[in-house]
Structure 1
Amino acid sequence: MVGFIVIVYFGYLGLMYCINQLRALPPTHTSPKKDFLKSIIWVLATVLFFGFALQFSTFVHPLVAVFMFAAAVSTSYFFFFLYLVHDCGPHQSANSCCIFRIKMVGVSAPSSKVIINGSKLIRDVVPAPESV
């Protein structure tokens, strides 16, 4: 358990350091350093995901452990795609190609509207005092 805590601690510090170094580079900058930082971010995140799945899978039902490892694999695949495969198109700026903005309008969850990238999605409105 002590080894796991040390790995998580230093892995998290390394991950934050690499993310800050990547953010410090200009968005249009292409270099081996940027690719290396993206690779290190993916490796450290994957190690942390699988470390948590491995460490806590011993405490849960085997079916839940399978779901934990499936979540680790899918999240690792998502980060791999996000950092190493996905590239912005020439018509998009490097800052705006991967931004997904969600704006909540309204006060309560049942009667609120969700605006995703300019298009409105309206959930079912449940009659409540605040929606009357």
Structure 2
Amino acid sequence: MESEKSNHKNINNITIGIVGLAAAIGAFLAPPNLKDKIEGLAMYGSQERTCYREYVGDLKDPYSAYLVESRVLVRPKGFPNFYPVLEKFDEAIQITIASKNGFGAYTKQQFQCPTRNGIVDTTDTHLWQLQSERL
């Protein structure tokens, strides 16, 4: 009787361990559009998400968006500048977002957000949006 209880307990512990291991492996091997979901909890509070929120109105399906790449841009000293955003601001963050277009296909778009001391400045981002529309 007691050995049956211990066998049941061992089987339950093994089952819980296998399920936990499968969940951990599944999270590690998940496709990037699930791991880097911009609307997800993992990106909450990040500079990429702050920049994304400034451009969310430009996307057809913002809930399908995921982060492909992000980089910090700094105005080069003594070298030519390749990024128009750095003509007005010293530093910026550039994000590449993939989201669904009006036909349901994923397309990539790049957005730049000026930063001050490494933090996205929403006022400068709005100014940049207005200036870049005229370019």
TM-score in terms of structure 1 length? 0.24
Mark the structure with the bigger radius of gyration: 2
Between Structure 1 and Structure 2, the one with more strand by share is: 2
TM-score by length of 2: 0.23
- Whose relative contact order is higher, 1 or 2, with alpha carbons under 8 Å and at least 6 apart? 2
